[in-house]
Amino acid sequence: MARNKSNQLTDGEQSIMEVLWKNGEASVRDITDELSKEKQTAYTTTQTLCKILAEKGYADFRKEGKAFIYIPKITQKEARQSALTSMLNKFFGGSPKVLAQHLMQETDIDLDDLEALQRKVDQSKD
């Protein structure tokens, strides 16, 4: 049975989007060169992932000569929101409260950090 296509970013797609968000736009060659600084990456792999990003609606492209130049269609903030919403729904029943409780139980967050977080929450309600 075929696997359902996910609209969420894979690790490889996320890495490419990080390059696009940082640079505003980039050719497949530029993206490959940037990614290869961390881990050797094949041009054809980058090319395939860029096409997938365009299909998913995360990036757009234009052709300049033989090169494809990719541009992010969504901001990093929008991608974070989408990923967080997906994670909330998938693992925490859509409840930010359950997520917050999990984070408090599973991390070393201290009282000062919680108070600072509460201030930011209170300011966002104004």
Residues 3-8 have a mean pLDDT of: 70
The helices-and-strands tally (H runs, E runs) of the chain is 6, 3
Task: Give the tens place of pLDDT for each residue, 28-85.
Answer: 999 999 999 999 999 999 999 999 999 999 999 999 999 999 999 999 999 999 889 9
pTM: 0.79
Long-range contacts of 59-68 (CB under 8 A, 24+ apart): 59/16, 59/17, 59/20, 64/27, 67/27, 67/28, 67/29, 68/27, 68/28
pLDDT, averaged across the chain: 91
All domains in the chain, ordered by first residue: 11-72 (1.10.10.10), 92-125 (no CATH)
